[in-house]
Amino acid sequence: MLYKIVPFLIWFHRFSTLVGKVKVPLLKDVLPEKRTKSQLQPSGLALLILLPGALLQIDLLVRIGEICSMAASGWLGLNLLYAIRQKPVPNDQ
């Protein structure tokens, strides 16, 4: 859900007043779907490792799952930074 809300808020805050004045990105261009789907893999891997590790109380699996979860969170942070850094493109005159 975060990947739907954040790009909209960024687009609305940064670009909505510029429509018709300069070239603005489409909402889907603020955070491309390819970037969001790539973050799903480490998140899923973390869940698949962490859940059995926690249920079976296997410390090594829990630690590996935590590392995967931290990597997925870092990836999320990078994707959100990418979205935040979007800037309007000035019109050629």
**Global confidence as pTM:** 0.77
Contact between 78 and 6 (Cβ < 8 Å): no
Q: Summarize pLDDT for 21-70 with one digit per residue, the tens.
A: 888 888 888 888 888 888 888 999 999 999 999 999 999 999 999 999 99
DSSP, res 32: -
Pick from 9-23, 53-67, 69-83: least confident? 9-23
pLDDT of residue 91: 64
How far is Cα 48 from Cα 82, in angstroms, rounded to an integer?
27
- In total, the chain counts a number of residues equal to 93
Comparing 12 with 88, the larger pLDDT belongs to 12
CA-to-CA distance for 73 and 40, rounded, in angstroms? 10
